[in-house]
């Protein structure tokens, strides 16, 4: 594991570069880089609940969607480099603040450091669930390194047609990779388990953000997930697509229509999906985008 970053293949981009000397697609070196570490309250109820999710926003991204709401840290790479020891301390600090879990956001480029930090923190008493919050564009071999360390997998399933993945994320094999990734995630953590307070302890929640005019693509994702996993996973069907600045594709400069979202929810119900999260109105606002200000990064 210690030599992975010398010929990095952590994600399906397979840059195979030495991250001690240069940077690949994700723009990350061999250092851990984060933009914020704080309690957040706007996740699915079983993730944030009333006490909050201990969320760590890592810099960089191995997918890079053109409509990303966190572009300041994903594509613009804002953040501060920290040590593995400091990351372990942040885990413990968030737990002390009352976090009901540790929520690792876009962790893929930093998996090696995360593994080391989790092992340190767990030896020092960290016991709340660990959530791996990812775009879904993962290598199975990388996920296997996390087996036993991650309690809850929270992958996106963004597209069912690789034509959209190629256009909006410069990724021609997204669908194949996300299917394999979710299968490995499910193998590791199994069916969802919750505490008496309703907080998720184990399991997979697949997030899907509806995109403008891609209603049928959304339906294909829901159909695949239900046929594959039935109600042994949760699906979060999101209508919070927010129009970002400088979008070069005109079709992305539209909000999700309420009638389209309702049609998708009805489709899910008719399929037989019972374990799902839905969103109400007024979710597509830049007000929900975190202020990446290095909160919780330094002591």
- DSSP assignment of 59-116 equals S--SS--TT-TTHHHHTS---EEE-HHHHHHHHHHHHHTT-SSEEEES-GGGHHHHHH
The neighbouring-strand residues paired with 39 are 54
Nearest Cα residue to 12 out of 189, 153, 134, 168: 134
**Cα dihedral across residues 179, 185, 186, 187: positive or negative:** positive
> Apex CA 182: angle with CA 180 and CA 85, to 5°?
110
pLDDT of residue 3: 84
- Both tokens of 206, joined, read 């697949």
Q: What is the pLDDT of residue 246?
A: 87
* Maximal C-alpha separation, the chain: 53
Q: Give pLDDT, residue 299.
A: 73
What averages of pLDDT result for each successive group of 10 residues across the chain (299 residues)?
A: 88 97 96 98 95 98 95 93 98 98 98 98 98 98 98 98 98 98 98 98 98 98 98 97 92 95 97 95 68 91
In DSSP terms, 209 is beta-bridged to 238
Residue ranges of domains in the chain: 25-288
- Cα 140 to Cα 161: distance, rounded to the nearest angstrom: 20
Predicted local confidence at residue 275, as pLDDT = 98
CB 240 within 8 A of CB 288: yes
Superfamily of domain 25-288 in the CATH hierarchy? Aldolase class I (3.20.20.70)
Strand partners, 207: 156, 236
CA angle 133, 137, 142 (to 5 degrees): 80
Q: How many residues does the chain have?
A: 299
Q: What is the predicted pLDDT for the residue at 280?
A: 81
Q: What is the DSSP string of 233-296?
A: SEEEEE------TT---GGGSSPPPHHHHHHHHHHHHHHT--SEEE--SS---GGGS---S-TT
Determine the Cα angle at 178 with ends 193 and 116, to 5°: 65
**CA angle (104, 105, 107) in 5-degree steps:** 75
Q: Report which of 209, 204, 200 is spatially closest to residue 67, judged by C-alpha positions.
A: 209
pLDDT the model gives residue 226: 98
Task: Quote the pLDDT of residue 290.
Answer: 83
Q: Which structure tokens are listed for 256?
A: 């999700």
CB 35, CB 81: distance < 8 Å = no
CB atoms within 10 A of CB 291: 9
């Amino acid at each position: 594991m210690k030599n992975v970053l010398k010929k990095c293949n952590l994600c399906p981009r397979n840059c195979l570069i030495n991250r001690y000397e240069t940077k690949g697609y994700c723009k990350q070196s061999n250092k851990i880089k984060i933009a914020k570490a704080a309690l957040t309250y706007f996740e699915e109820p079983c993730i944030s609940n009333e006490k909050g999710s201990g969320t760590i926003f890592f810099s960089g991204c191995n997918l890079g969607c053109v409509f990303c709401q966190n572009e300041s840290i994903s594509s613009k790479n804002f953040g501060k480099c920290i040590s593995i020891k400091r990351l372990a301390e942040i885990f413990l600090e968030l737990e002390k603040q009352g976090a009901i879990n540790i929520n690792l956001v876009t962790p893929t480029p930093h998996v090696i450091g995360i593994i080391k930090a989790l092992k340190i923190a767990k030896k020092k008493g960290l016991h709340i669930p660990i959530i791996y919050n990812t775009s879904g564009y993962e290598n199975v071999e990388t996920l296997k390194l996390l087996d036993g360390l991650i309690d809850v997998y929270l992958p996106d399933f963004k597209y069912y047609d690789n034509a959209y993945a190629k256009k909006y994320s410069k990724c021609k094999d997204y669908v194949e990779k996300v299917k394999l990734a979710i299968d490995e995630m499910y193998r590791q953590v199994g069916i969802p388990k919750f505490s008496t307070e309703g907080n998720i302890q184990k399991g997979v929640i697949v997030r899907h953000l509806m995109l403008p005019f891609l209603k049928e693509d959304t339906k294909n994702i829901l159909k695949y997930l239900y046929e594959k996993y039935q109600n042994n996973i949760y699906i979060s069907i999101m209508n919070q697509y927010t129009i970002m600045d400088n979008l070069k594709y005109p079709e992305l400069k539209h909000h999700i229509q309420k009638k389209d979202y309702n049609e998708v929810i009805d489709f899910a119900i008719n399929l037989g999906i019972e374990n799902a999260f839905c969103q109400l109105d007024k979710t597509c606002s830049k007000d929900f985008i975190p202020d990446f200000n290095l909160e919780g990064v330094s002591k």
